[in-house]
Amino acid sequence: MYELKVLGSFSAAHHLLNYEGECENQHGHNWKVEVYIKGENLDKSNILVDFKVLKRELKTVLDRLDHKDINELPEFKGISPSSEILAKYIYEEMNKLFPQISKVGVWENENSCSMYYEQWD
């Protein structure tokens, strides 16, 4: 089994709904994102997925979030856009192009990360 990881980042504001504490107020993060792809079969160049393609598509997804108030985006209207929800959103968007995605990690800071993955059979 092979596994790749690419990194991306974006800056955005958000606030948590139904939360008591500082995070209920609007605040921002410089988010770091990790996308993992895994699979058993390499192509004729002996690569699983071209890093260049994977990074380009991740950037496309993250550009939709970058320098935005996440709570105001239609995809997150009325829900609390926690790092867990962002990890799931990025996973689902990347999964449309890369069905071999294994997980996504979203870091709010150097000490706090949420991961999202789906169970494979």
Domain ranges of the chain: 2-116
CATH top-level class of 2-116: alpha beta
Task: Tell me the three state secondary structure of residue 100.
Answer: coil
Task: Tell me the three state secondary structure of residue 37.
Answer: strand
pLDDT band at 121 (very low <50, low <70, confident <90, very high): low
Task: Say which of 3, 24, 67, 118 is annotated catalytic.
Answer: 67
pLDDT in tens, 11-27: 999 999 999 989 899 99
Q: Is 14 a catalytic residue?
A: no
pLDDT in tens, 36-84: 999 999 999 999 999 999 999 999 999 999 999 999 999 999 999 999 9
Q: Is 108 a catalytic residue?
A: yes
Sequence-ordered list of residues with C-beta below 8 angstroms from that of 9, at least 6 positions apart, any chain: 30, 31, 32, 33, 62
Task: Say which of 34, 57, 93, 108 is annotated catalytic.
Answer: 108
Q: Is 23 a catalytic residue?
A: yes
Model confidence, pTM:
0.94
C-alpha pair distances (Å), 31 with each of 46, 58, 80, 105: 32, 13, 16, 10
The torsion angles phi and psi of 63, rounded to 5 degrees, stand at: -60, -25
